[in-house]
Amino acid sequence: MLIVFPGQGVQSVGMGKDVYDAFQSARDVFHEVDEAISQKLSTMIFQGTEEELKMTQNAQPALMAVSIALVRVLEREFGCDICSKASFFAGHSLGEYSALCAAGVISLPDAAKILKIRGNSMTNAYPEGGAMAAIIGLDLEIAENIVSECSNGQEIVQMANDNSVGQVVISGSATAVEMAMEKALSSNAKMVKLLEVSGPFHCKLMEKALGPMIMALEKIDFRKPRRPIIANVTANAETSNFKELLLQQLVQRVRWRESLLFANANSVSCCLEIGAGKVLTGLAKRTVPHWKLTNINSPESLEDFAKNYV
């Protein structure tokens, strides 16, 4: 089994509230995150505005908190040790921190603190704003050629996410991204769409975020994972060197499609997504359509999984 954790974009006000209300171990996670970052993040998640929650510095620790609350409930309320079921863990962008926490590499308070710093650093790294856009319906090679054609010394656009067959995200300066979008449409892309983000993530315009993240990660105790992590930047099973992998992730593409194919090539046939939304199982369905897919994002789905847990 591949256990995966979602990234930014699936956040919504009220996410995780039903689990918080139902289980003490979930409440403990949200309170621990609040304390770690000295912020009533749980109040914002449950009662705040969408505008507040989608801010990168809030969305990132919030989504991690929801994922780890679900993991804790599985483990402490239902006696389900997910590490014993997993062949690999993986997380999409910020979800990689959730994966590291679930696999025992970093503590929950450390994950919350780093993600708060990561969110602020990414937001402030490129004051010009930049842009990201999804391109649907083009082969990866064609999309990569377009990105290459639209980059020069001053204007930069890179592949930020290789999400699934026929779905990529590009990132860079606004001018270069707009040019690439136009070229993608003229190359018969089914759809191109600007994303609502606060910066051009997963490209070299994020280099100014590296300094604060290096300082933050230096303070973290990284332990050996209970199961290997398929890292975003290598699409390979990793058991060490996580600090460097997390730094590279800021400025390099998320190789999600390749990560799924790696798991498939290593005898994985089912995927469990833990956290808000169902985006990652949707990507898996397009890339490895024969897999069995399961989502845990509510008290009902927790109970359903626990009933079938052997």
Q: Between β-strands 167-172 and 157-164, what pairing exists: parallel, antiparallel or unpaired?
A: antiparallel
CA distances from 6 to 60, 92, 188, 229, 272 (A): 10, 5, 29, 14, 11
Which of 67, 93, 151, 259 is catalytic? The answer is 93
Enter the tokens of residue 182: 């136009």
H helix intervals, the chain: 17-22, 24-37, 41-47, 50-53, 56-76, 82-85, 95-102, 108-124, 140-150, 174-186, 210-218, 242-251, 256-265, 279-287, 299-307
Q: Which amino acid is at 244?
A: E
Residues 6+ apart with CB under 8 A from 67: 5, 6, 95, 98, 102, 274, 275, 276
Six token digits for residue 119: 């969110």
Residues 163, 169 contacting (CB under 8 angstroms): yes
202 carries an active-site annotation: yes
Residue owning tokens 């270069």? 176
Q: Just list the catalytic residues.
A: 93, 202
